[in-house]
Chain A
Amino acid sequence: MTQLRRLPTGGRIDRERPVRFSFDGRSLQGYAGDTLAAALLANDIALVGRSFKYHRPRGIVAAGAEEPNALVTVDAGPGRVTPNLRATQVMLHDGLVARSQNRFPSLRFDLGGMAGFAAPLLGAGFYYKTFMGRPALWQRLYEPLIRRAAGLGRAPKVADEDWYLQQYAHCDVLIVGAGPAGLAAAWTAAQSGARVILCDEQAEPGGYLLSAPGVMIDGMAAPDWADAVVAEIRDRITVLPSTTAFGWFPGNLIGLAQSLDPVPADAPRPDRADIQPRGWRQGAGDAVVTQQDLDPYRLAEPADQVAPPRERLWQVRAERVVLATGAIERPLVFPGNDRPGIMLAGAALTYLHRYGVLPGKRATVVTADDSAYLAAADLFRGGMDIAAVVDMRERPHSDAISAVRALGITIHTAAEVTGTEGWVRVHSVRTQGGAAVIPCDTVLMSGGWTPTVHLASQARQALRFDAASGTFLPAHGAIGAASGTFDLAECLRQGAAAGGIARDFAVEGMPQMAPSVRPAPARPHAKAFVDLQNDVTSKDLKIAAEEGFVSVEHLKRYTTTGMATDQGKTSNLNALSTLAALTDRPMEAIGLTSFRPPYTPVTLGTFAGAGRDALFAPIRMTPIDPLGAVLEDVGTWKRARAFPVGKETLAQAVARECAAVRSGVGIFDASTLGKIEVSGPDAARFLERIYTGAFQSLVPGRCRYAVLLGEDGFIRDDGIVARIDADCFHVTTTTGGAAFVLHHMEDYLQTEFTDLQVWLTSITEQWAVIAVQGPHAAALLAGFIRDVDLSAMAHMSVCSALLDDIPIRLFRVSFTGESGFELNIPPPDAQRVWDALKAAGATPYGTDAMHVLRAEKGYIIVGQETDGTVTADDVGLGWTIARGKGDFVGKRSLRLADLARADRKQLVGLSQADAEPGIGMQITEPGQDRPIGHVTSAYPGVTLALVEAGRSRMGETLLIRGETADLAVTVVDPVCYDKQGTRLRPTPVPAVTAQALAPRPPSSAPVGVQAPGVVMVSLAPATLLSLRAPAGISSIGVALGMMLPTVPCRSVISNRAALWLGPDEWLVQAPEDAPALMALIREAAGDHPVGITDVSWRTRALEISGPMASWCLNGFCALDLDPRSFPVGMCTRTVLGKAEVVLWRIAADLFHVHAGRSVFPYVWACLRQTILAVDAGV
């Protein structure tokens, strides 16, 4: 059987290119340009699926997105299986494998069809009525059963093999729909020079025009006119076929899902392991990106080894949206209206004219609308036998009807279909008021047309009821059939006007038709289907109405009509009019349910876009290679837990690392700790209002432990405040709290403490930090640091120092209980310092050992000992609260009665018996069941807990309640190691021999990526300062040789450059080194207070150039990069993917992108992917 129903000529398919495909295992042939539905019909296949609930045989009803029945699974091999695709939207390609769904064992003989016999039991509200009773049964029995019996295709079980793209776009006009009105609008809009995007869900623009070869527009056949318009506008505007506008979101943001070319089954598969993050290093030696740096983000390449991307998500920000979404033909609701072979009349017309396919041999046309007569006439001329036209209307008359009568076709008026016969295909129609039984293999139906208003509804537009057509229409913004206009010439005129030019079109060959009017509502019948996809009948609606579900929203939920993936495209109006009749109310009183996005299903892959695997989110690594370490996630960072040696277990490694710190010296990568430079004349006063401690009395060179409270009095963060000089502090935060603390400080600074002159600058990534801890720390460091007497350096102090030749900020602080230091090192030098310290005998330790060491000292970790309901006093940090100073954030709350209660949970230690408790375990008194606390930290030999009135329970026995056994413990002091703190005191350092660092490794060659029209290269580091000052200090401009820009987001370039990043913030880039530039500015500022922070190492930069550069940036950046909105010289912080960047347009086609050191590889990889896509031609 070869394409039995294909006509010898006609259609827009490519008959030179036959295509093999398979459906349910049968090998079939179609042509390039076919949809799967067209090819199935060409092969005389009427039965394509089983219905959702009753498993009734179903066929193809429509020719577009509204298809409710023909849902298929397309199988392109493991990892490329897509269920629930509409056969009407699947473009045929060679080797396509499609399967029907929801049937067992086969489509023709489906056991689930038994449900049909039980149909009387399965009506509206069946789930709610039947499966009442024990909730456990619902979960274990009913739901799995129902999900098996009723449903759609099976969700794939293996990861998606394909890759997906995403694109942000901006336009003046987005035209949704490329039918007559949309094309006319695009045509005139293109002439205005506006930025226009025209999208259409179908593979070919043209819409209805492609189904009307007999109609002439301005002297051209309608399909030719459409082709000519598309050819004319294609280069001037963005035309996106196969692209569905699926959602309209606030701010005129429209989501488009674009299908790219189908991926063939034999396409190569990316090596999944290749795109997973691996243990990797990040530019240890220099700031130029090396291939090695970017390794974890490497996608399989070259491009010819990977299949092309599959879909693209567009996020379009449109000044104006023109809805030219057309209309959807309504089925008629009559008994047995769901049998295969029963199809919308307009769909049959489409299959005839676009695909050269007749959907059957002999058709009965059932209608309440003149448009079906156009189909009847054309299909008759195409060779189809038209048995009769059954018209529900009393006395229909128009030119279209006369034309059909003239062909000798019988027309029954005021007639009604009372039933159909046939099982896997209709074979006759019974009518009342006409011939009793009409044999036929096809029924073409039309109940009029419903304007497609889904997007307008999603945009929360009020839809107005139009009494004449009996439908709901958008209040504004719609043209053509979407606005209820069905006259072709008027549709074209409206389109042209919407595009900005008023003009008329000469339309010939379109017979005059009566206006479309909604037919009388259906009578309740158990086999008269209103919603074909959800198997809702007119009887279900009656039951629902009788049971009181008369609100349209209740009706929808109770019967499921209009729900799910279909969103009521063919069913909504029919359901509403039936409800109106049942409850004797006018349609406008019934109202309309909200349509929800997406308009048609969008794959999760499309929503995820590029954001999966290594590009899901930045993976932040420090500049120190965690070679050999076991990694863990801490906030957005990867940190080393421990460094097992040889065959050591994790626990053995942690024990060894702890012992090394207690008895010798360990080194720990603390680079991830948040660091904020607080500068300005009021810095000390500001910190006193933010933290609990006193800082005006802190002398330069000293540090103080600091606790940050929320206004509610509870601990939010902690860290060290170090005074660098009178008006500059170096403040550390927890790793996870860094962004929060900066935001919290900015909040108070900008909105409450506006009397203070203070500036905050993140320096987290400006410095890499190595903690050197243990009794031998000073001796180890003395070999490298020769300009500071380490034996005289006090605990809790800070100074500048030279480590060999590297300028560092040296802290003497301890989070281990041992005497120790923290070295703040320029990131490019961190690796060689680490390597040298290790070579000199220091033991690397990870976060696990750090946890044990600090817990032995009773030092808390915010987020572990605290949970947002813990005060400083609760965890024994009441001493950090400076009583003598004025107000500070959280102070007032400390006086609340609840925060001063004696029975609050307090931090204690628990002596351990033999077993080690788990963190989070509940604690009770012996013989009691009421929890009085919980374990917050538990490591070998040390357990911390929060226990009610814990400090008054010293020596008491409590129970840690386990799942199987309880653990008896004694309450002890939380500090179990060196209670007097003697080990923190500086000790004399023996004379040591000077040690030298290895020289800096040579810079590796910079890397680049390119594609036609775009080149991306990494940039060498430059001096960058964050300059903070009130605007208008002209002496600084004079000294720099350029005035600091005062217009937001603009830059000035001389031999230096200044970028406006905020009203009192500039990024200054210069050729000289940072200390010289800082001195120059400070001198120029004179008495004016300014904040100057060296941020040269905080970021890395890339340059992307070429005519495609802004397109590539818009793959991940949501800004409008049109030169009119983002001119040359514009600079701004923004978001690229999930990373913050500074984006700077230096020339029309040249951008610089600065990103934080640790997120730079992610930014690079994101842009690289868009460049690869350009290279692949998509």
Chain B
Amino acid sequence: MLLIPCPWCGKRPENEFRHGGQAHVVRPENPDAVGDEDWAIFLFLRDNPKGRHVERWRHIHGCGRFFNCVRDTVSDHIDATYKPGEAPPA
């Protein structure tokens, strides 16, 4: 069970969280202006990296907030978590 540092509540066990998929997938400002192909990419295409991955989690059984998380998909090590709207650490 991972220990995930919620940006508000601190380190909490994984069973308080729900995974939210890849982070920084931005919903187009005006979806009507997006072509079919780009819309399909927005809907379905996601990274599947081995190693550093930036993903969303929600502290659903805690403060309820969504946040972003840099996790290594091989070691499960979490490098950083940060609030929505903030840029991922380098």
Contacts and interface: CB of A to CB of B under 8 A. Distances in A.
B47 interface: no
Interface residues of A, number: 37
22 contacts: A250-B76, A315-B1, A317-B13, A460-B75, A712-B43, A747-B58, A747-B66, A750-B65, A751-B66, A754-B85, A891-B32, A892-B31, A893-B43, A896-B39, A1048-B63, A1061-B64, A1062-B64, A1062-B65, A1132-B62, A1133-B63, A1134-B61, A1135-B61
A1135 B16 CA distance: 6
Given A249-B1, A1132-B9, A743 B63 contact: no
Interface residues of B, number: 35
A750 B16 contact: no
A552 interface: no
Leading 7 A-B pairs by shortest Cβ distance = A892-B31, A251-B3, A250-B76, A1118-B13, A1062-B63, A1048-B8, A750-B66
Contacts of A1140: 61
B31 A887 contact: yes
B36 interface: yes
A162 interface: no
B20 interface: yes
Contacts of A1087: none
Nearest to A1049: B9
Nearest to A888: B31
A1125 to B, nearest CB: 9
Contacts of B9: 1048-1049, 1132
Given A887-B32, A1118-B13, A1134-B62, A752 B27 contact: yes
B36 A897 contact: yes
Contacts of B76: 250-251
B1 A250 contact: yes
Interface of A: 249-253, 315, 317, 460, 711-712, 743, 746-747, 750-752, 754, 887, 891-893, 895-897, 1048-1049, 1061-1063, 1065, 1118-1119, 1132-1135, 1140
B13 A743 contact: no
Given A253-B3, A1133-B62, A1133-B63, 20 more contacts: A251-B2, A251-B3, A317-B13, A711-B43, A743-B18, A747-B20, A751-B84, A754-B84, A887-B30, A887-B31, A892-B31, A893-B39, A895-B36, A896-B36, A896-B39, A1048-B8, A1118-B13, A1118-B15, A1133-B61, A1134-B16
Contacts of A1048: 8-10, 63
Given A896-B36, A896-B39, A1119-B12, A317 B3 contact: yes
Nearest to A739: B60
B39 A746 contact: no
Nearest to A1047: B8
B8 A1063 contact: yes
Nearest to B77: A250
Which of A249, A460, A892, A1049: most chain B CB closer than 10 A?
Answer: A892
A458 to B, nearest CB: 12
In this complex, which of A315, A1049, A1119 has the most chain B Cβ atoms within 10 angstroms of its Cβ? A1049
A747 B16 CA distance: 16
Contacts, number: 94
Contacts of A1061: 63-64
A712 B69 CA distance: 25
B83 to A, nearest CB: 9
A1135 B18 CA distance: 12
Nearest to B75: A460
A882 to B, nearest CB: 15
A1083 B85 CA distance: 33
Contacts of A460: 75
Contacts of A1049: 9, 63
B15 to A, nearest CB: 5
Interface string B3-36: 1000011101111101010000001001110101
Nearest to A252: B3
Which of A750, A754, A887, A1063 is packed against the most chain B CB atoms within 10 Å? A750
Interface string B25-56: 00100111010100110010000000000001
Contacts of B18: 743
A1134 B61 CA distance: 5
A252 B10 CA distance: 16
Given A750-B84, A1135-B15, A1140-B61, A891 B1 contact: no
A1063 B63 contact: yes
Given A251-B3, A460-B75, A1048-B8, A892 B84 contact: no
A159 B43 CA distance: 47
Contacts of A897: 36
B60 to A, nearest CB: 7
A752 B66 CA distance: 11
A517 B39 CA distance: 64
A895 B40 CA distance: 12
Contacts of B31: 887, 891-892
B73 to A, nearest CB: 11
A1063 B58 contact: no
B38 to A, nearest CB: 10
A460 to B, nearest CB: 6
A892 B43 CA distance: 11
A713 to B, nearest CB: 9
A711 B34 CA distance: 14
A463 to B, nearest CB: 15
Contacts of A1119: 12-13
B80 to A, nearest CB: 15
Contacts of B40: 896
A435 to B, nearest CB: 56
A750 B66 CA distance: 7
A887 B76 CA distance: 38
B19 to A, nearest CB: 11
A200 to B, nearest CB: 24
Contacts of B14: 251
B13 A746 contact: no
A1172 to B, nearest CB: 24
A1062 B62 CA distance: 8
B27 to A, nearest CB: 5
A250 B2 contact: yes
Nearest to B31: A892
A251 B39 contact: no
A1092 to B, nearest CB: 17
A891 B36 CA distance: 13
A1063 B13 contact: no
Contacts of A1133: 16, 61-64
Best-buried of B8, B64, B75, B85 by chain A (most CB within 10 Å): B64
Contacts of B85: 754
A1063 B14 CA distance: 20
A743 B27 contact: no
A466 B76 CA distance: 28
B44 to A, nearest CB: 8
Nearest to B32: A892
A1063 B83 CA distance: 12
